[in-house]
Chains A and B, each alone.
Chain A
Amino acid sequence: MIANTNTNMRFSKPVAIAITAFMLLSVGCAATTRSIDPDESTIHYDANYDFSDKKEIVNKLTDSLLNTTLLGRETSKPIIVTYGIANETAEHINTGGISDDIRLKLIQAGEYRFVNRKQRDNALSETDFQHAGFVPPEQRVVEGRQLGANYILAGTLRSIEKQQPREFRLTKRKLVFYSMNLELTNIETGEISWADNVEIARESSQPILGW
């Protein structure tokens, strides 16, 4: 029996049970938020591309690029310009995140140097501004000293989806296969100096009946 001694309020057994049940349900329905360590574990809610896939793709391709024999053949650190990753899947995937993360890891590893293609127009505009007489001569950047890239880093993300044929069943199964291809092209010779790919296959099933 639940009782409030201060007010002498007493509840009958059914009311007490109802209040307890309501409180339990209220707690059960409360929204929760928890932080997840990105390095902790692989989380997939369905078969579609997600954060864990990006992490796997970035790690595998970065490791491959850092262990390539190309580095041993070069006398100085190769200079790379990234041309992005084409999204040839049937999902709206921001592939810029993949190329940005690969570039970040390679820069942090210190084996490659990168030129920033996306900031090229801004850099030109800033240089023009500095040389237009607004900036003292000694503070102006010297023109003609931009790094020339040796390699283009570019890739393609593709997907193939297969759905279970229509038949009597209680769940719908979907198989998605992702293939991420990345290559390093020598700008001078046009040769593909390095290439690798990561493949991810995943199956998900969804109940056909629900409440």
Chain B
Amino acid sequence: MPRLFHRAAVLSVAVLFLAGCATSNSLNNARHQFYAGEPEAALATLDKDSISKRNTLLAHLDTGLIAHTAGQYQKSIQALLAARELLEQLDFISVREQGASLITNEWATTYKGEYNEHLLIHTFQMMNFLLINDTESAAVEARQALKVLENHNSPLKHDWYSRALIAMSFEAAGKPDSAHIEYKKLIDDMGFDGGIATAALRNARLLGREDDARQFAELIAETDAELGIGDNTNAHLDSTDNPKANANSDVNFDVKNNGELVLFLQAGSIPLKRPGQLYVSTDIFAAFPTYPIIPRPHLNLSIDVGDVPIKHASVVKTQTVDVARAALGARGKQIAAKQLARIATKKNLAQTARRENEALGAILSVAFFALEQADTRSWETLPAHLNLVQIPLPAGTQQVSLLVRDGDRLYESTLENIEIKAGKRAFRALRLGPGAPRTKLN
């Protein structure tokens, strides 16, 4: 029996060291290519190289986001649909993987995504469907996003961007009642305009919800007064770090002559998860993933239509890392419980081995110690900032220039040939900074 245990222990050590703690190489290569401004090359890498089964979800997520950035919306839709289908298939606890992770680490398990990532799958799908003018499918995604929000409301409710997009998707699909419910819930949770009150007000008036319309109008007036733009004299939409900063006093939107450009503005890259460590004793410690706390200002935008600076734009702002941190925090108890179980299992195994063979026990202890690594896998191609920019524009073909400040970085971009129809929304997506395509996409 001791001999059998001896062999099993040696085999375990070998297996432990073979168990990789790294994301697939091809996934990393694709991410490097994406952040080098080469989304097409990144997609080619993801298409041709095999990704380990444990990281398949990440491959779908990255493919979906990179294709979205490259303007390949159908490809993005297919990848994100595959991601969601995979999540449904993975919605069980694998005894085999959990067993393996008890003597190794969480890298031994199949990545199932964080709650914020589950929601962002639908957020990017809503954007994709709106960009290809499939409003009914955007509304389907909005309903799915609501299910995710319902299940994990506390950590996700501050994802203002996704929530505003849900309301907008319902509105686009001709469901103003559903849109009104979401606008109202969102504004009640925000407690201020937040860049969405103008859209909510317009929709409420369309439905004849005068009480709610009055509430939204008051919020807009408050924000305008705070920013000193009630008299419409400000030349630029100079948003500040304050997420309330929106110049949106033009509530009487002229639907007969004007339309609106809704820009899905994405900038920067989400900070990566980092390993946190908690030492229990000299030979035992727990490693867990964390998100760094780095104060980061919101994007600062200046918008010109043609050569004319505009002030009547509303911006809903979300920093993805804030929601990601809250979502990871919501799993805190689960992560801690698993850590305790792992520490107990490893300690037990090492002690048993030591009783049989001192050297083997020591080797196992070292192996277990070395293998204690935090699972820092995440959807790394996400942007740091998600801004829903709503710009009222006269009907016709328009050109919009943007000057965007992200901390000490300044980006300039021009959107050309925007077809604006009276009373309608036109949707465009733009990624700036890391991950932005180096060459202009068609």
Contacts and interface: CB of A to CB of B under 8 A. Distances in A.
A209 B93 contact: yes
A88 interface: yes
B143 A211 contact: no
Interface residues of A, number: 15
A211 B96 CA distance: 6
Nearest to A91: B140
Contacts of A92: 81, 137, 140
B94 A210 contact: yes
Interface string B142-166: 0110010000000000000000000
B137 A206 contact: no
B91 A88 contact: no
A211 B95 contact: yes
A86 B178 CA distance: 15
B92 A208 contact: yes
A88 B147 CA distance: 14
Interface in B107-147: 136-137, 139-140, 143-144, 147
Interface of A: 86-92, 161, 172, 206-211
Interface of B: 81, 91-96, 136-137, 139-140, 143-144, 147, 175
Contact of A207 (B92, B137, B143, B175): B92
A207 B95 CA distance: 12
A92, A161, A210, A211: residue with the most chain B Cβ atoms closer than 10 Å: A92
Nearest to B84: A92
B140 A90 contact: yes
A161 to B, nearest CB: 7
Contacts, number: 32
Give the secondary structure class of B's interface.
helix
B88 to A, nearest CB: 9
A8 to B, nearest CB: 37
Contacts of A161: 147
Given A90-B144, A208-B93, 10 more contacts: A87-B140, A90-B140, A90-B147, A206-B91, A206-B92, A208-B92, A209-B93, A210-B92, A211-B94, A211-B95
A208 B140 CA distance: 27
A10 B96 CA distance: 38
Contacts of A90: 140, 143-144, 147
Nearest to A166: B151
B91 A209 contact: no
Contacts of B136: 86-87
Nearest to B174: A86
A170 B143 CA distance: 27
Contacts of A206: 91-92
A170 to B, nearest CB: 11
Contact of A89 (B81, B96, B140): B140
Contacts of A91: 140
A96 to B, nearest CB: 11
A59 B262 CA distance: 43
Contacts of A208: 92-93
B331 to A, nearest CB: 14
A112 B170 CA distance: 35
A86 B91 CA distance: 30
B286 to A, nearest CB: 25
Contacts of A210: 92-95
B278 to A, nearest CB: 27
